[in-house]
Amino acid sequence: MATSMLSSTIVLEVLRNDNYPNWSACIKNYLLAQDLWDIFETTTKPPKLEDDAVEFKAWRKKNAAALHAIQISCGVEIQSQINDISSAKTVWDMLPKLVHQPPSKGASYNPVAEQGNALNILSNNVHEDGSMIAPYQKVEIGSSSNNPGRQNIINTWNADYYMGYAPLHKALQSGDWNSAKEFLKLQPNSLTAKITTLGKTALHLSVEAGHVHIVEALVEEMSEDDLEVQDNFGNTALLNATSTGQYKMVECMLRKNKKLVSMGRASPNGFHMLPVVWALSNGYIKIARYLYSLTPLEDLIPEKGRSGSTLCSEAIYTRALDIALDLIRRCPRLVLAPDNYSFSPLYALASAKYAFPSGHRLVFWKRWISSCIHIQLANGTTTNEVHLIIQKDVGCQSDAVKTNRLSSGIHIQLANGTTTNEVHLIIQKDVGCQSDAVKTNRLSSGIHIQLANGTTTNEVHLIIQKDEGRQSDAVKTNRSSVGALLRRPFSKLIKLLDMEHLYEMKLAHEQSRELLQLMCKEILITDEEGRAEGNVYQAIFRSIKEGVFEFVHDVVKANPDLLWSHDGDSRNIFSYAVLCRQAKIFSLIYGIDVKDNMAYDRDNSRNNILHMAGMPPVSVMLNRIPGAALQMQRELQWFKEVESIVHPKIKKVINNDDMTPRELFTKNHKDLMKEGEKWMKDTATSCTVVAVLILTIMFAAAFTVPGGNNQDTGLPIFFNKKLFRLFIVSDALSLFSSASSVLMFLGILTSRYAEEDFFKSLPTKMIIGLSTLFFSIATMMIAFSAGLLLMLGEDSSMVIPVISLASIPVTLFVLMQFPLLVDMYISTYGPGIFDRKMKRWL
């Protein structure tokens, strides 16, 4: 009887009913070595694409690798029972039970047949006379019960075949091209032969080993058809190169055979994926742009599968919006086409918070710079402008993409008039191969400052470029001595102001705006069934959860009937905005005429919009607010704001739990109110200690003045000096303000802490207490400085260091607590988070 043979490079024997302990130990060690075992030990649910795309992709990649390792290490009978399972952890948990089950009825266990079938996926054809031309040979195993007298022929492993390629395998792995070349001369057929049990060729192995020089040499020797050879998993060498980020390898293979861009393989969930999609899904944007420029549009249309929609979704997730925009321009039908994860590019854009202005919280000076940046995606001209173009990793792209990047830039209008006063700055990094238009742009790029009107004789030229590679003589000529002197300060200034990031952010905003406009047009001409299949309603509610105001506004404005969209729990747009605490999106209700109808709407649990304000938020918006007390204040502000727009009778409506909105609010915010009380008391206690300490010091300083008193008159010796008067006034102000601060904090500590107290009473006391405390600290430092100057006179060498050292602890305290004061003041007395003056928009 034949014994079980090697089925893969992972285990010595495939899994049968009698070898599970040894098999599981081997496979576990392999998974540990490949850093895949953690997915079997976790107790949490797998991440979802809509929650975290990056985490989901990482999990998906590990799960697919582990599942594949298990599948190829199982016998045919066991493998047939796990083929439809997509979770590696589920399969692993099932295997101990499966191996103890008896064979299915009517079948008997045949180790040779099982082994041969498992190895069939690795086999090649044989000659009619039975001579071996592959790593397998024919073996007769007897008659079949269903076909008496007929010999069953299977393929069995020929170890000598692979051993013959061992020197070539070793040379390719180590990067020894000379040894590999000698082997190929002796055995020319080995250039395209499958030399591993996984069906990999010499080119596959060289790509995986990362040896670019060997790959280039092999490609030079191979024909176009040779490059199309696939391993047992359907991977061409190009696919392996795109999955590992080897740009030069991809480039050299496609120079030989451009048809490779259309040869994909099945993804872990069974859908066909082209090389460009594989590159993007693995985060290699530069390679993806290059592959996209060569991929025919016919391969990306919805009728050819899900590659086009998946490419568009992946481009959005990986921030390659230029690819997504160009693809939607060329094939708008992809907007609502399902991708490999059954979502649409529209849904992907709704999840891309980074692509919209509402997804960024910038400090004021960055907001100002961003407002000065004008991105022009279409061709056009402007006058008297500052142009800053920052381009990275462009690669070879299609004409549409190139045009967009060429015309994109920072445009800051300087003055009205002629076109003679301009400043031009272009920063380009790692551009790679480009069209003539790009090269021309590079020749004329630089800082161009016109010094005299009407002529071009007095100019300063500066080019800041990194990793350009080969350049023309014209570019090198422009690198003047003036440019060399100015290059460093300008590059440091740009880095300091974070202008490159601001440009990329602004460019993404403009690209997403145009992309959204194209998508809205496609939604408009789509029927109800198409919208449902294209995730239109899911996308709207996902954008609400993410707080993407622009998406909700533009989609609903372009398609007004979507205003009445509901989610799976029958919640409308504004109810869900309240539940997610998205104030800007909720404020859209002030710009429509049907807000009363929206307020009357109820969900499946008969909750109205005011009930939503009483529920805990489903998003993380509340976590952005510092301190539980301010969070409780914000929840009260939400409840009162929604309460102000609904009909009075809605306030008393009960839901399925027989609770009014106010009762629901009280129930769901008990814990937050307790946390807010604790936060208020802890803050007030710590501040009281500081205020009392200042009060004590200032009280004592008032009677122990610097220099002492005159023995005859009893007046201070420095009474007539201005510094002494400054000392006395500062001491008194510090004393009185610290006393006021103590009283305010005592009021907080003795408060009753009712719900309404968190709305204004407690925050007001905290604002007064902190303000007077900061004022007392400032005046205390003034009094201290004045006293030192009086004592030491003109000896400033001691005064300045002492004052500086004394200011350190005080400054640290102010820096830690002052932001809290600002936040509390804005939250309590600021303009508010709701835009009640929203203009009519629908």
Q: Is the pLDDT of residue 644 over 70?
A: yes
CA 818 to chain centre: 32
Q: How does pLDDT run across 718-774, given as a tens digit for each residue?
A: 777 888 889 899 999 999 999 999 999 999 999 999 999 999 999 999 999 999 999
Q: Is 199 left (phi over 0), alpha (psi -120 to 50) or beta?
A: left
Higher pLDDT pick, 745 / 403: 745
Asked which of 7-21, 758-772, 774-788, 825-839 is least confident by mean pLDDT, the reply is 7-21
Query: Any alpha helices (H) in 461-565, and if so which ranges?
Result: 473-478, 481-496, 499-524, 528-533, 536-546, 549-558
Nearest-angstrom CA–CA distance, 662 and 793:
66
Assign residue 529 a region (left: φ > 0; alpha: ψ between -120 and 50; beta: otherwise). Answer: alpha
Tokens of 692: 């009392």
What end-to-end distance do the CA atoms of the chain give, in Å?
80
Q: Provide, for the chain, the percentages of residues in helix, strand and coil under a 3-state DSSP scheme, each rounded to the nearest 5.
A: 60, 5, 35
According to the model, what pLDDT value does residue 55 have? 81
The whole-number pLDDT of residue 815 equals 83
DSSP single-letter state for residue 347: H
pLDDT of residue 121: 31
Q: What is the pLDDT at residue 702? A: 83
Among 486, 496, 543, which Cα is nearest to 520's? 543
Q: Is it the case that residue 505 has pLDDT exceeding 60?
A: yes
Between CA 412 and CA 426 the distance in angstroms is 14
Q: Residue 571's pLDDT band (boundaries 50, 70, 90)?
A: very high
pLDDT band at 842; cut points 50, 70, 90: confident
Q: Is the pLDDT of residue 635 over 60?
A: yes
Please give the Cα distance from 447 to 484 (Å, whole number). 12
**Fold: same for 165-263 and 550-668:** yes
Query: With left for phi above 0 and alpha for psi between -120 and 50, is residue 331 left, alpha or beta?
Result: beta
Torsion, Cα 546 550 551 554, to 10 degrees, reads 160
User: Residue 569 in contact with residue 538, Cβ under 8 Å?
Assistant: no
- Give the residue-averaged pLDDT of 377-403: 39
Burial of 666 (0-12, 13-18, 19+ CB in 10 A): middle
- What average pLDDT does this structure show over 193-214? 91
pLDDT of residue 137: 44
> Any idea which architecture 550-668 has in CATH?
Alpha Horseshoe (1.25)
Q: Which pLDDT does position 131 carry in this prediction?
A: 35
Mean pLDDT of 113-140: 38
Residue 412: beta bridge partners? 386
Cα distance between residue 93 and residue 95, in whole Å? 6
Mean pLDDT across the stretch 345-363? 89
Q: Is the pLDDT of residue 583 over 50?
A: yes
The mean pLDDT value for 95-117 works out to 47
Higher pLDDT, 1 or 95: 95
- Give the pLDDT band (50/70/90) at residue 293: very high
Distance CA 90, CA 83 (A): 12
Question: Among the listed ranges 16-30, 272-286, 335-349, 766-780, which one has the minimum average pLDDT value?
Answer: 16-30
Task: Give kind and range of the element (H or E) at residue 816.
Answer: helix 796-829
Which of 120-124, 341-345, 539-543, 795-799 has the least mean pLDDT?
Answer: 120-124
Q: What pLDDT, on a 0 to 100 scale, did the predictor assign at position 417? A: 38
DSSP characters over 647-716: -GGGGG---TTS--HHHHHHHHTHHHHHHHHHHHHHHHHHHHHHHHHHHHHHHHHHHS-TT-B-TTT-SB
- Answer whether residue 471 shows pLDDT above 60: no
**To 10 degrees, the CA torsion angle through 643, 648, 651, 652?**
170
In sequence order, which residues have a C-beta less than 8 Å from that of residue 522 and are 6 or more positions away? 332, 333, 335, 336
At residue 794 the predicted structure's pLDDT band, cuts being 50, 70 and 90, is low
Q: What is the mean pLDDT of the chain?
A: 78
Q: How far is residue 556's CA from residue 69's CA, in Å, rounded to a whole number?
A: 47
Q: What is the pLDDT of residue 75?
A: 79
pLDDT of 527 above 50? yes
Look at residue 56 in the predicted model and tell me its pLDDT. Answer: 82
pLDDT of res. 160: 60
**What are the φ and ψ backbone dihedral angles of 4, each rounded to 5 degrees?**
-70, 140
| Average pLDDT for 592-601 | 87
Eight-class DSSP state of 46: P
Listed by start position, the domains of the chain span 20-122, 165-263, 358-503, 550-668, 674-829
Mean pLDDT of 590-595: 89
CB 198 within 8 A of CB 122: yes
Least confident residue range of 8-17, 65-74, 348-357, 411-420: 411-420
pLDDT for 225-263, tens place per residue?
999 999 988 899 999 999 888 899 999 999 999 999 999
Q: Which residues make Cβ contacts (< 8 Å) with residue 823, sequence separation at least 6?
A: 625, 626, 630
d(CA 425, CA 390): 9
Q: Which residues contact residue 227 at a Cβ distance below 8 angstroms, ignoring those fewer than 6 apart?
A: 203, 219, 236, 237, 238, 253, 256, 257, 260
pLDDT of residue 362: 73
Fold category of 165-263 in CATH: 1.25.40
Residue that has been written with the tokens 């305290």 in this structure: 813
Angle in degrees, 0-180, between the axes of helices 761-792 and 796-829, rounded to the nearest 10: 170
